[in-house]
């Protein structure tokens, strides 16, 4: 597929345009992950929120928003859904009555463990064509690009 001739001078053919490849791959990866999570009655935000809670303990919604990148307006629904299913509890913070403290329940922790496995296997499906060192390299590249882009 890759024509060694088309290095730099002539405009990149559509097929090899990094930005395009990036969004194509991201789109399909997103679908893969979303469908996988849907089969476990979850969405990617559920996972993000639960992981954030596990990593740094109970937090206010605004705090969670900052950690996960989910907008605090959208977080409301996420917490609602997690609470409905009994995975988190939302309680007013006595120390600051503007806040809600969100806490993972034991059931939530169990659910999260299940999702961890699911996500890991989905990552594996996603990255199937790459060797382990290549996967690490890709992650490194993406990490650097993200760093760079979010500082603009």
Binding residues (CB under 8 A) for a second copy: these are 1-2, 5-6, 8-30, 32-33, 44, 48, 51-52, 55, 62, 65-69, 71-72, 116, 119-120, 122-123, 126-130, 134-135, 137-152
CB 16 to DNA: min, Å:
18
Residue 74 touches which member of DNA, a second copy, none, C-beta under 5-8 Å by kind: DNA
CB 87 to a second copy: min, Å:
16
91 DSSP β-pair partners:
101
* Euclidean distance between the first and the last CA atom of the chain, given in angstroms as a whole number: 34
| Alpha helices in 11-151, H assignment, sequence order | 18-39, 44-56, 61-68, 72-84, 106-126, 132-149
CA-to-CA distance for 53 and 64, rounded, in angstroms? 8
Query: What are phi and psi for residue 117, nearest 5 degrees?
Result: -65, -45
Q: Which of residues 50 and 101 has its CB atom nearest to a second copy in the complex?
A: 50
Residue 76 touches which member of a second copy, DNA, none, C-beta under 5-8 Å by kind: DNA
8 A C-beta contact, residue 64 and residue 44 = no
88 DSSP β-pair partners:
104
- Footprint of DNA (CB under 7 A): 1-8, 23, 27, 31, 34, 43-44, 60-63, 65, 71-76, 79, 90, 96-100
CB 147 to a second copy: min, Å:
7
Q: Which of residues 11 and 94 has its CB atom nearest to a second copy in the complex?
A: 11
Edge to edge, the sheet with strand 100-104 lists 59-60, 100-104, 88-92
Q: Which of residues 70 and 101 has its CB atom nearest to a second copy in the complex?
A: 70
């Amino acid at each position: 597929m890759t024509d060694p001739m088309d290095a730099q001078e002539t405009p990149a053919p559509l097929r090899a345009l990094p930005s395009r490849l990036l969004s194509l791959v991201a789109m399909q990866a997103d679908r893969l992950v979303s469908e996988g999570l849907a089969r476990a009655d979850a969405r990617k935000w559920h996972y993000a929120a639960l992981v954030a809670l596990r990593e740094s303990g109970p937090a206010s919604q605004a705090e969670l928003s900052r950690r996960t990148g989910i907008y605090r307006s959208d977080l409301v629904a996420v917490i609602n859904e997690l609470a409905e299913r009994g995975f988190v509890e939302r309680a007013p913070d006595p120390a600051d009555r503007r806040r809600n403290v969100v806490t993972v329940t034991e059931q939530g922790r169990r659910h999260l463990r299940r999702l961890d496995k699911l996500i890991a296997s989905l990552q594996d499906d996603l990255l199937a064509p790459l060797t382990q060192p290549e996967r690490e390299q890709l992650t490194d590249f993406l990490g650097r690009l993200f760093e760079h882009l979010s500082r603009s």
